[in-house]
């Protein structure tokens, strides 16, 4: 190789490789503070993620498993959350318990499994930009989500703790995505949200993001902003839940109050997460 060519190659490697290796910063004055690029095969990184487990909410069909490769694993540089139709013993089952009144202990065997990954107790966030590049599952009954919950949930309960649904998709509505904010107003549950028509969002990867500032939250599908929530709509004082830290959740639900009837023929389904990145605003 000629010396001139070697010099040109060295210049390109030194200048371009760092740009390719580092996550690209989003538009605006943001600084990366936390991320998972999912590049180590196996179970999700335990220093970053925990799990919800069992029958958790919304009369959903799935049992959320913990540390189980069949339901949550890193493969091909991505997090794969898999919803499956399978018989799975409920370790919390109590003989004689009424399944209609207490699904957690009244169901001996689950007919479906999936996973819900959370950063609770490991990392929380207050303001900034949260973005997730993901490819959604498809079919009637699937209900993937990217969302945040106030870290004080155990102390004050829901919805006083606040909930931020960055993205929700239900398979029975295959051409739209949703963003919703839940909170308490006058002692009752209140919510505001937006939805966006998006043709077959499950057909390829898209970027789902929220930019959370002291005065508002802006929600994005790729580069399109489609909903803004004013923080003061949840209260002007310091008790406003969106002036307090939240933790992150990424889950795949099956059926339930919004997911609707499950079409078993579509299972198994994979919810693929390319990366999760959290930024904070740079100081002026």
Catalytic residues: 163, 168
SS3 194: strand
**Structure tokens, 16:** 């371009």
H/E element holding 18? helix 3-21
- State the DSSP string of 118-138: E-TTT--BSSEEEEEEEE---
Q: How far apart are CA 251 and CA 201, in angstroms?
A: 17
Bond preceding residue 159 cis, omega within 30 of 0: yes
Q: How far apart are CA 244 and CA 258, in angstroms?
A: 28
DSSP state of 104: H
- Compute CA 18 distance to the chain's CA centroid, rounded to the nearest angstrom: 28
Among 173, 171, 144, CA closest to 250: 144
**Strands across the sheet with 246-254, in order?**
50-51, 116-118, 246-254, 142-150, 163-168, 176-185, 188-197
Dihedral, 122, 61, 103, 71 alpha carbons, nearest 10:
-40
Sign of torsion over alpha carbons 138, 141, 142, 143: positive
The single residue listed with the structure tokens 């959740």 is: 249
H/E element holding 15? helix 3-21
């Amino acid at each position: 190789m000629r010396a001139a060519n070697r010099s040109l190659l060295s210049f390109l490697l030194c200048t371009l490789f760092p740009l390719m290796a580092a996550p690209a910063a989003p538009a605006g004055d943001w600084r990366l503070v936390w991320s998972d690029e999912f590049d180590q095969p196996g179970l999700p990184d335990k220093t970053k993620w925990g799990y919800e487990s069992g029958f958790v909410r919304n009369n959903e069909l799935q049992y959320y498993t913990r540390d189980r490769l069949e339901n949550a694993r890193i493969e091909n540089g991505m997090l794969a959350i898999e919803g499956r139709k399978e018989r799975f013993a409920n370790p919390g089952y109590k003989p004689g318990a009424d399944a209609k009144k207490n699904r957690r202990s009244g169901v001996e065997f689950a007919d479906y499994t999936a996973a819900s990954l959370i950063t609770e107790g490991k990392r929380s966030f207050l303001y900034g930009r949260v973005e997730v590049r993901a490819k959604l599952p498809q079919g009637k009954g699937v209900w993937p989500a990217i969302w945040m919950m106030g870290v004080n949930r155990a102390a004050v309960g829901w919805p006083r703790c606040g909930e931020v649904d960055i993205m929700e998709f239900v398979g029975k509505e295959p051409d739209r995505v949703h963003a919703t904010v839940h909170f308490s107003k006058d002692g009752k549950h209140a919510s505001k949200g937006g939805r966006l028509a998006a043709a077959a969002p499950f057909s390829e990867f898209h970027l789902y993001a929220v930019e959370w500032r002291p005065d508002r939250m802006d929600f994005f599908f790729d580069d399109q902003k489609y909903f803004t929530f004013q923080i003061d709509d949840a209260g002007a004082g310091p008790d406003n839940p969106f002036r307090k830290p939240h933790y992150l959740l990424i889950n795949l639900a099956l059926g339930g109050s919004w997911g609707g009837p499950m079409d078993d023929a579509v299972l198994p389904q994979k919810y693929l997460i390319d990366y999760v990145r959290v930024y904070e605003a740079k100081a002026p």
